[in-house]
Structure 1
Amino acid sequence: MRAATAPPVRVGVFGLLGSGNLGNDGSLEAVLGYLRAEHPEAVVDALCGGPETVAARYRIPATRLHWYRGEYRTASRAGAIAGKGLGKLVDACRTAAWVRRHDVVIVPGMGVLEATLPLRPWGFPYALFLLCASGRLLRTRVALVGVGAAAIGSRPTRALVRWSARLAAHRSYRDTLSRDAIRAMGVDTAHDEVCPDLAFALPVPRVATVPGRVCVGVMAFHGGDDDRARAEEIHRRYLDGTTRFVRALARDGREVRLLTGDAVDAPVVAAILGAVDSPLVTAAETATLADLMKETAAADTVVATRYHNLVCALKTGTPTLALSYAAKSEALMDRMGLGAHCHPARAVDAGRLLAQFREVERTAAELRRTLAERNRTAARHLDRHFTALTAALFPTTGPAPDPDPDPSPSHALRETP
């Protein structure tokens, strides 16, 4: 009777969604899939970076995250600086008004509690703090679901991230490194859970493998938030090493598909195509994480930098070598049984990378078996995580929990701190 007469639950999704980062959008897609399957009565909308894209692609109403449209452009003139400053005040009111209209707000995946890439505290960290503070004040449950976190050097950024985590009603992380990082910032994580990245809940496309094809995922990599003084040097070394590696593959007669994960990666693709100048090297056109998975599923081998390029390759069961730029990449590879197959993005050595690549190819059959097993385990973990999420966020809509004493890894949703 209550289910038939109660108003539908109002759910908001929040983040830099629809802004060109395919990993962020893939996390949103996974959460929307969960909501549509388990809570079809829910009314969903978004406060996000690219509302036009989110509304068109996912068919939900969407509102722009920031009042000031130039939020992520460098402000050098007085008018732009004033606009950004005024925007911070306006956004506080806009965010609170948006949160007030919801019963639950979900931040789906993404590295919202880290600064492994250059980040200003008054950008997204401030926006996330406004969200979590508004949720606490207005008694709207804010859930950080399967998010990434890492140690942060900048004091202002670290303070905003710490308070955002403290004020959230629910937290879960995509790896134990993230939970440990938040605990080190002084947040009580005793009841926080660890689950596989949300993108592992997405379906795998069925495509035929192209014999000999190699996907190389590239990135506009300039180091992390603490590397601003050496950003161009780091980028030159990364681009030079990656270009040499791609050229070596083309000389061996291998077909190479260049992948990206964000719109900002396009200049790197153009630079490699121009430097190698081979018909064997082409750029894939990918607008979604599903497009990325089609590319990685069709490849014999993947070598990739961006975190969600790695997720797509591992999810499709393709032997993978990581150009690792952060501990999260190494943790992901280790979790999927490929921890030995990493190469530092900060110091790409084309010769050594080529040797590692050949080792991955030599053991490809074994790696495919390992990935098939790890993917089955990840799927079971995510099923249980979404069940726990329903119990935490939708206590009046979900079925009564069914206690299961099975102690196998598929039931080990919560890891011991």
Structure 2
Amino acid sequence: MTSAPEGPVRVGVFGLLGSGNLGNDGSLEAVLGYLRADHPDAVVDALCGGPEAVTARFGIPATRMHWNRAEYRTASRAGSIASKGLGKFVDIFRTAAWVRKHDVVIVPGMGVLEATLPLRPWGFPYSLFLLCASGRLMRTRVALVSVGAAEIRNRPTRALVRWSGRLAAYRSYRDAQSRDAMRAMGVDTARDEVYPDLAFSLPAPPSSAPSGPPGTVCVGVMDFHGGNDDRARADEIYRRYLDGTIRFVRTLVGEGRPVRLLTGDRCDATVVAAILDAVDSPLVTAAEPTSLDDLMNEMAAADTVVAVRYHNLICALKTGTPVLALSYAAKSDALMDRMGLGAFCHPAREVDADRLLEQFRALEKRSAELRGTLAERNLAAARQLRDQFGSLTAAVFPATDHTHAHARQESP
């Protein structure tokens, strides 16, 4: 707990927010809900990837994370390469100046300490390191809240992630294997806790058990080319994943089942287009979700979900809808196991449509039982996240703000 500042506590939120990834924005929504409830007087702003989108949707001031607006475009010409290099230097001072204006900076969830998707060390890992180093230098407490982590082989990326973890004032993880990964990379995790993903604190629409003939199956898709270590076979992985998914959807349609295609990031639209082109049927439709709330509404109305993206899985689990995971990383397996559906995982890198259909049919046979299991696990997750928010307040918020938050929680 820090000493009391003059005036309202100043809170910054940081990450690839407003950049088209619904899961990242859902994590931000969860933290803003906590701040509104427990720290209503806090002054909040963001340093993020898509400041215009964050301000428009969440109503908080936001600053672009990178000086170079072409940060995530491939640089091939000498001018663009030089601009990227200059941007890395300028961002040292921009990040430090932003951090200095805050009492607390929160990194809300997300897989910020992993490289399960293609990642370069001088991209987000460098930005996160600048944030945590600035926090230590400026005496601003940086909190990594319910984040994902995985052991990283690439040495520069591993070093940046390790030092980011060490410099943060508060760390918690969304699963035990994330904490284990940080320990294996040299971070002292003795005082770090494990809590559910932040999205489990979001409200969910009511979901009812299906009645009558078999209904809609939601299929969450992903522009999936493997992870950081799969670059040499990225095209092969994508083709195998897409072909297997198309065969699965085609079989469902042949049985008269409506299929609703869902995305989790703007880049997934290409996969939706490929499936619609390959399976020409009015039974296959596509949604255009813009938030986790949109995804949950779609899934609450479905009989069953099959999904790849981590936060698509969370949305299905949160609504209590039985889901089969096309797992692209160990975090998906850990999530499904935690929620009682560990038997219903299928490797996204090696999609076998026949085996996937077998698992799908087994899932639907156990639908009623699994809905009951999910209801219990969701209640437990919500309680655990309430505990985390209390611990976060005590650990990083100024003394007077902590006292006020505790008084609000105790009031009838």
TM-score range, shorter chain: over 0.9
Partner of 1:280: 283
CA distance in 2, matches of 1:400, 1:143: 20
Is the counterpart of residue 356 in structure 1 residue 359 in structure 2?
A: yes
| Equivalent position to 1:398, from 380, 383, 402 | 402
Q: Distance in 2 between matches of 1:371 and 1:132?
A: 36
Identity %: 77
Q: In the alignment, which residue of structure 1 is the partner of 2:59? A: 59
**1:257 equivalenced with 2:267 (yes/no):** no
Segment of structure 1 superposing worse, 82-91 or 207-216: 207-216
**Structure 1 residue matching 2:311: 3-state secondary structure:** helix
Quote the Cα distance in structure 1 between the aligned partners of 2:76 and 2:205: 46
For each residue in 1:188-237, what CA deviation from the matched residue of structure 2 results, as whole angstroms up to 9, or x when unmatched?
00000100000000000236777511000110000000110110010000
Partner of 1:127: 127
Q: TM-score, normalised by structure 2?
A: 0.95
Deviation at 1:99, TM superposition (A): 0.2
Report the CA distance between 1:393 and its aligned residue: 1.4
Cα distance in 2 for residues equivalent to 1:311 and 1:37 = 23
1:88-107 CA-partner distances (Å, limit 9, x unpaired)? 00101100000000000000
Distance in 2 between residues matched to 1:390 and 1:203, nearest whole Å = 21
Aligned to 1:96: 96
Residue 6 of structure 1: how far off its partner (Å): 4.0
Q: Distance in 2 between matches of 1:113 and 1:79?
A: 31
Q: Does 2:348 correspond to 1:345?
A: yes
Task: Find the aligned partners of 2:151 and 2:249 in 1 and give their Cα distance.
Answer: 33
Across the two proteins, how many residue pairs are aligned to each other? Answer: 400
**CA displacement at 1:307 relative to structure 2:** 0.2
2:376 maps to: 373
User: Residue 226 of structure 1: SS of its match in structure 2?
Assistant: helix
In the other structure, the counterpart of 1:226 is 229
Task: Work out the CA distance in 1 between the residues paired with 2:85 and 2:11.
Answer: 29
Amino acid at match of 2:205: P
Q: Quote the residue 1:143 is aligned against.
A: 143
- Provide the rounded CA distance (Å) in 1 between the counterparts of 2:71 and 2:197: 28
Task: Classify the secondary structure of the residue corresponding to 1:323.
Answer: strand
Unaligned runs of 5+ in 1: 403-417
Q: 1:385: which partner in 2?
A: 388
Determine the C-alpha separation between the residues in 1 that align with 2:379 and 2:402.
25
For 1:240-251, list aligned pairs within 5 A.
240-251=243-254
Match status 1:326 vs 2:332: no
Does the 8 A contact of 1:146 with 1:174 survive in 2? yes
Per the TM alignment, residue 400 of structure 1 is displaced from its structure 2 partner at its CA by: 9.0
* Mapping for residues 288-307 of structure 1, pairs under 5 Å: 288-307=291-310
Does structure 1 retain, via aligned residues, the 8 Å contact 2:207–2:321?
A: no
How far apart, CA to CA, are the structure 2 residues paired with 1:73 and 1:5?
A: 40
Residue in 2 that maps onto 1:36: 36
**Residue 401 of structure 1: CA displacement?**
10
Map residues 304-319 of structure 1 onto 2, 5 A cutoff.
Answer: 304-319=307-322
AA aligned to 2:304 is T
Q: Which residue of 1 aligns with 2:167?
A: 167
Between the two structures, name the one with larger relative contact order (CA 8 Å, sep ≥ 6): 2
Instruction: State whether structure 2 residue 198 is matched by structure 1 residue 195.
Output: no
Letter matched to residue 65 of structure 1: M
Which residue does 2:25 correspond to in 1?
25
SS at match of 1:47: strand
Whether the aligned pair in 2 keeps the contact of 1:209 and 1:299 (CA below 8 Å) is no
**Corresponding residue for 2:218?**
215
Equivalent-residue separation in structure 1 for 2:153 and 2:209 (angstroms)? 43
Deviation at 1:153, TM superposition (A): 1.3
The residue identity in structure 2 corresponding to 1:75 is: A
CA contact (8 A) 2:207 2:320 kept: no
Native 8 Å contact 2:4 2:398 kept in 1: no
Paired position in structure 1 for 2:206: 206
Q: Deviation per CA, 1:369-414, whole angstroms, max 9, x where unpaired?
A: 0000000100110011101111011241224999xxxxxxxxxxxx
- Alpha-carbon contact 2:209-2:368 (below 8 Å) kept: no
User: Which residue identity does 1:369 align to in structure 2?
Assistant: G
CA distance in 1, matches of 2:378, 2:266: 28
Task: Give the superposition deviation at 1:295.
Answer: 0.8
For residue 227 of structure 1, give the secondary structure of its aligned residue in structure 2: helix
Could you tell me whether the CA contact under 8 Å between 2:18 and 2:52 is conserved in 1? yes
Which residue does the alignment assign to 2:409?
Answer: none
Taking the aligned partners of 2:40 and 2:66, their CA distance within structure 1 comes to 29
Structure 2: how far apart are the matches of 1:271 and 1:401? 50
8 Å CA contact retained: 1:209, 1:298: no
Taking only aligned residues, the RMSD between alpha carbons, in angstroms, comes to: 1.6
8 Å contact from structure 2 (residues 105, 140) kept in 1 = yes
Aligned to 2:410: none
Q: Does structure 2 conserve the Cα–Cα contact (< 8 Å) formed by 1:212 and 1:299?
A: yes
Deviation at 1:285, TM superposition (A): 1.1
Is contact 2:245–2:353 with CA below 8 Å preserved after alignment?
A: yes
- Are the structure 2 counterparts of residues 260 and 401 from structure 1 closer, same or farther at C-alpha, using a change threshold of 3 Å? closer
Checking the alignment, whether the CA contact within 8 Å between 1:212 and 1:255 is kept in structure 2 is: yes
**Aligned-pair CA distance for 1:151:** 1.1
Aligned mates of 1:231, 1:393 — CA distance in 2: 41
